[in-house]
Amino acid sequence: MAYERGNHPDRIYVKVTSDFDCTGFMQPRDIIWRDGRVFHIDEIRDFRPASSVDRALPGDCYTVLINGETRHLYFERTSDRFASRFGRWFVESAQPAS
């Protein structure tokens, strides 16, 4: 089955505050929208590797609880060529791209 862009929701890149423990484990704490709204992550329910289909970049998917609702937060790793750019966070829009 071929990948079709129209079948997948758009990505919304967001700012995320994160903590790192002494082993290097990254734990997101808050999601900050472009308009300044802050959504605190109450709980991380699941974590799994999840690559970016359309960009072939490795990444991770965090299943998080925010205000009683389960959401997916993705971390997309960037190329190794840019040492100061480790990656970026995104959420998927509710509506698929047309």
Query: pLDDT digit string (tens) for 6-46?
Result: 566 788 999 999 999 999 889 999 999 999 999 999 999 99
The half-sphere exposure of 70 on its side-chain side, counting CA atoms within 13 A, is 6
pTM of the model: 0.78
DSSP 55-76: TTB-EEEEEEEETTEEEEEEEE
